[in-house]
Structure 1
Amino acid sequence: MDLKSYFNQLTTKERELQFGRKAADPLRHAFDVKRVVHAGMNGEMVPPPLAQKTWQDLMHQKVQGHPTQMAYFHIPFCKTKCLYCGFFQNGTDQAAEDAYIKRLIREIEMDAALPRLSGAPIQAVFIGGGTPTSLSPENAGRLLSTIQNCLPLANDYELTLEGRIHDLVPEKMDVWFKNGVNRMSLGVQSFNTEVRRAVGRLDDREEVLRRLQTLSSYNQCSVVIDLMYGLPLQTQEVWQDDVKTLVDSGIDGADLYQLDVFEQSDLHVYIQKGKLPPAATTQEQSAMFSFGKNYLEAQGYKRLSYCHWARNNRERSLYNTQARCGTHLFPFGCGAGGHVDGLSTMLERRLPAYQAAIDQGRKPLMFLMRQSPYAPLAEVIMGQMNQSRLDLQKLIRMEPRLKGLEFLGSLWEEYGLWQDNGYLYQLTEAGQFWQVNMTQTLLESVEHLLGGSSQIHQKKVAAQG
């Protein structure tokens, strides 16, 4: 069935969920809600008894060609749990942290000796969590020096340490910069003290700005923050002040993220019980997105991807940009995810299971999955859509049957979601806001055209409406 015939046989509700609608204001109303957190395709699970051998066979293979490679390290500890967060695993505990870093270093040493990892440079390293900056100076130094000594880092590598403002103290920063950290990504979310305190952030506006200034004064790294739009108590005026304060701070870049209120999150529970006012609706968030985009463009910021912005050339956002393109990503640590040579994995999320696997000399795989046979096409689509464009003719050259996507080209141009510039489709402002929905539909359309699948994925990621 061609894509137009498939489109016509859907109910109105299904059609608008998957393909959107024509609206007078597509920024607000092309879709009702965001339907996935990240666009993607399903794969095929490797049977658990075969997972360890399959992974080890891959890691013992020599590298083919000159692939771009990255590494992700997960630190599963936080001092506090933010209400909106879906990544909390464990509270901070020094004994648990010491034991964990010992195992994490052992995992790095085991994998670093294998040909698949050691045979090509690592362009980007991301230490995420959790709250990596919560590590003691001693443990941070041990981990960072191991990364430096064991991984084949490229000369121009990016090493990002993720964390929170409260940890920006000299005894920690000295260790980070002595051991190769050249990019700091900090979860500010909002500069407004009332908004920050409502969702569990510790420091007030003045302290946030003071510590950012101290970090910048080291002149040792790119300083980047996360700002989130749509938080409870964060009115349009508060959001506008957040973006203006970002620019005034002079730091190197920022990520502007849309708040997703998950139905099972603490934030949703607080809102339902009346402990916090409602978060912004998706339609209200669209206005926030528009302001942030237009203000940063007017201030001369360079857009690196859908939500990443750079004030200067020091900020590259290599990891975040490459992660959307299917770049090989080696995972380390409890709860880390990665994908290498057509295999995707998630490592054990429970500390006891993770530590037991390391003690037994095994990669702590929670599961291993073979990626979709259409993954190379999906990676092109996701990488381009993350840059607010789609080269449909390139896809058709890769797979002629994707000529059927021309139906979407015309449809979404009519809906005001993108424009054909004669070479490729450029997303409009409305298309940029809804690009996750559009990307998921493109992937589902590829599966339909090449494999006959008719799935419509929807996850409950917008409980705010």
Structure 2
Amino acid sequence: MTAIAAASALAAPPHAVMGRGHPHGGPKPVSAFLVEPGRDALTQAFSGREFSPPWHGSIEVAASEAAAAFERLFATPRSAPAIAYIHMPYCQNHCLFCGFFQNVWRPEVAEPFVDDVIAEIAAKAATPLVASAPIEAVYIGGGTPSALPDQQLVRLIGSLRQLLPLTPDCEITLEGRSHGFGVAKAAAVLEAGATRISLGVQTFSTAVRRRLGRKQSGPEVASFLEDLVGLGRASIVCDLIYGLPGQDHDGWLRDIDIANAVGLDGVTLYALNLFPGGPLATAIEHGKLPPAANIAAQARDYAAGVDRLLGFGWRQAYQSHLIRSPHEQNRYNALIKQGSACLPFGPGAGGQAHGYRWRNVIDVEQRRAMLAQGVAPVEGLSRVPLQYAAQAVITAGLEAGRLDLAAVESLHPGFRVAAAPLLANWTEVGLGEIVKDHFQPSRAGAFWITKLTGGFYAALRSAPSAKGEGG
């Protein structure tokens, strides 16, 4: 599992959490997001982060209505391009930082798993939802998709290209880790049609990697990344996590320097997300690992990492994602935050379309049994909230560093009035500025992006609802 899922509180695509419900507790008022003047904007603005995805506030569809609603979903054409997500629920080992582990990878599961996914794609390829408009990006995630043997990866990617209406320049990302991958497999994957490889590195520090349960040393991972870059045939990106136990500020900056030196096209910087009751939190609680960095130290690491990469000539495309080469677009993650339809394939994959979101059943055997009985193996079908379109504009705008306030107002009249106290406060304390009717987060605001998102969502809730607004 890469940091895309492990750091879901900051920037995860929804496949890892869709269908598991939205955060519990009553909605917070706008006043809860105001910052006391005099606090340091970067390290003291808020006490913690929160998860505020565009689908926050979704309402579960009653079980008696779900089957018919799901059938209508796939019978309804799209008019706009979509993305697709293929989920592999197998990991080579359970990394301590990960809260999404499902199944231990075994070589014998490879062929039946790929058979099942290809059969699912073939069965749905002709449905109006899938066939009616192009697909601009495909993300093969997990889990550890790179653990699949060469021939199975080639077969899977070939089937995607054969069965789905991919655009000629469709971005096809393979997520994975360096252990069990290899240059020969990577070359085969690229030859089959993958255009992007994303590795969950987390850190290049061998000592910290060992504590996390990673098998290869930092130099081995860096060397493999250099080899991938040397192929010259795809965008090569990696994830790094700051705030890890045993990782100090200088060590984090060394990770940034190595990421720059190996020639990557892009890098994503994630704050450590400690899952309560998870293996990493438990190990820290029992004294087996040193404490993770506090929120202030994480803030300093984030700002220093971004500034260092910018100094090397990188460009900040999104809150956590920086790029160096023009062909690195990170298209899947950008589109999912914009509310694009997402077509899910494989156990545990999450989807969204036509104002609904859902999740494929993740248990492999249960899924096969349901298919054998003629029952759609899906769960958690929910209607997105009425303010979903406005929330997607907020999320995408803040991620890209420039929120169009007028665009949100047009979707939800009254937003500007409700958000006025936030905008006045945040500009005063240094979390951002307003430029030509756009709110632009500062470096500190970018670190606290989930809190800013939550604040704007609260403004939507307190403003009059726009008639006809929806997903």
| 3-state DSSP of counterpart to 1:167 | coil
| Counterpart Cα distance in 2 of 1:108 and 1:266 | 35
1:220 aligns with 2:233: yes
Are residues 1:348 and 2:342 paired? Answer: no
Aligned residue number for residue 321 of structure 1: 334
Deviations 1:260-280 (A, max 9, x none): 112111000000111100010
User: Which residue in 2 is equivalent to 1:267?
Assistant: 280
* Deviation digits for residues 121-163 of structure 1 (CA, Å, limit 9, x no counterpart): 1000000000000112222122111111101010111000000
Provide the rounded CA distance (Å) in 1 between the counterparts of 2:255 and 2:90: 28
Greater mean deviation of Cα atoms: 355-364 or 407-416: 355-364
The number of residue pairs the alignment matches comes to: 438
Does the aligned pair in 1 maintain the 2:134–2:165 contact within 8 Å? yes
Consecutive unaligned residues in structure 2, runs of 5 or more: 1-27, 467-471
Structure 1 gaps, min length 5: 1-12, 453-465
- For the 8 Å contact 1:225–1:253, the answer to whether it is kept is yes
Q: CA deviation at 1:16?
A: 7.4
- 1:52-83 CA-to-partner distances (Å, cap 9, x unmatched) read 2212212122333xx12100000001111110
- Structure 1 residues 15 and 142, CA, compared in 2 at 3 Å: closer, same or farther? same
Change (3 A) 1:90 1:334: same
Which shifted more, 285-294 or 170-179?
Answer: 170-179
Aligned equivalent of 1:128, options 141, 150, 153: 141
The 10-residue stretch of structure 1 (54-63 or 320-329) with the greater mean CA deviation from structure 2: 54-63
1:26-41 equivalences in 2 (<5 Å): 26-36=41-51, 38=53, 40-41=55-56
SS in 2 for 1:80: coil
8 Å CA contact 1:131, 1:163 repeated in 2: yes
Q: Higher mean Cα deviation, 23-32 or 403-412?
A: 403-412
> Does the CA contact (< 8 Å) of 2:33 and 2:422 recur in 1?
no
Post-superposition offset of 1:399 = 2.8
Rounded to whole Å, the distance in 2 between the matches of 1:14 and 1:222 is 42
Listed as ranges, the matches of 1:35-74 within 5 Å are 35-36=50-51, 38=53, 40-64=55-79, 67-74=80-87
Deviations 1:77-109 (A, max 9, x none): 111111010121100123333322221111111
User: TM-score by structure 2 length?
Assistant: 0.89
Report the Cα distance in structure 1 between the residues aligned to 2:210 and 2:99, rounded to whole angstroms: 18
Instruction: Give the structure 2 partner of residue 460 of structure 1.
Output: none
SS at match of 1:419: strand
What SS does structure 1 have at the residue aligned with 2:366?
A: helix
Cα shift at 1:338: 1.4
Does residue 242 (structure 1) correspond to residue 255 (structure 2)? The answer is yes
What TM-score, normalized by structure 1, do the two folds share?
0.90
Q: Choose 52-61 or 351-360, whichever is displaced more.
A: 351-360
Q: CA deviation at 1:39?
A: 6.0
- Residues 17 and 31, structure 1, Cα contact 8 Å, conserved in 2: no
Aligned partner of residue 228 in structure 1, secondary structure:
strand
Contact 2:269 2:320 in 1 (8 A): yes
Partner of 2:4: none
Amino acid at match of 1:300: G
Q: How far has the Cα of 1:180 moved from its partner?
A: 0.6
Corresponding residue SS for 2:70: helix
C-alpha distance in 2, partners of 1:212/1:47? Answer: 47
Match of 2:216 among 203, 213, 225: 203
User: Which residue of 413, 431, 453 corresponds with 1:417?
Assistant: 431
CA contact (8 A) 1:189 1:226 kept: yes
Deviates more, 1:355-364 or 1:302-311: 355-364
- Comparing 113-122 and 388-397, the one that deviates more: 388-397
Query: 1:22-421 alignment to 2 at 5 Å?
Result: 22-36=37-51, 38=53, 40-64=55-79, 67-404=80-417, 405-421=419-435
Cα 1:16–1:60 change in 2 (3 A) is closer
Report percent identity of matched pairs: 32
Q: What amino acid does structure 2 have at the position aligned with 1:70?
A: I
Give the conservation status (yes or no) of the 8 Å contact 2:413–2:465: no
Instruction: Describe the superposition over 1:194-250 as per-residue Cα deviations: whole angstroms up to 9, x where unpaired.
Output: 011110111112211211122122212110000100001110000010001111111
Using the TM superposition, name which of 179-188 and 90-99 deviates more. Answer: 90-99
AA paired with 1:73?
I
2:330 partner letter: S
Range that drifts further, 89-98 or 194-203: 89-98
CA contact (8 A) 1:52 1:365 kept: no
Paired position in structure 2 for 1:462:
none
Q: Cα distance, 1:44 vs. partner?
A: 1.5
Indicate the SS of the match to 2:225.
helix
How far the C-alpha of 1:115 sits from its partner, in A, is 1.5
Letter in 2 for 1:181: A
> Per-residue deviation at 1:451?
5.7
CA-CA distance at 1:383 after TM superposition: 0.8
How far has the Cα of 1:20 moved from its partner? 3.4
Counterpart residue type for residue 178 of structure 1 = E
Distance, in Å, in 1 between the alignment partners of 2:464 and 2:35 is 22
Task: Return the alpha-carbon distance in structure 2 between the equivalents of residues 102 and 49 of structure 1.
Answer: 31
Could you report, residue by residue, the CA deviation over 1:296-343 in whole angstroms, capped at 9, with x for unpaired residues? 111111112111111111211101111111011111111111101111
Q: Determine the C-alpha separation between the residues in 2 that align with 1:388 and 1:58.
A: 33
Classify 1:62/1:451 alpha carbon distance in 2 versus 1 (closer, same or farther; 3 Å): closer
**What are the residue-to-residue correspondences of 1:8-23 with 2, within 5 Å?**
17-23=32-38
- What is the CA–CA distance in structure 2 between the aligned matches of 1:417 and 1:194, rounded to whole Å? 35
Within the alignment, does 1:440 sit opposite 2:468 as a pair?
no
In the aligned structure 2, how far is the partner of 1:398 from the partner of 1:169? Answer: 48
Distance 2:274 2:54 in 1: 17
Return the alpha-carbon distance in structure 1 between the equivalents of residues 222 and 423 of structure 2. 45
User: Which stretch of structure 1 is more off in the superposition, 287-296 or 213-222?
Assistant: 213-222
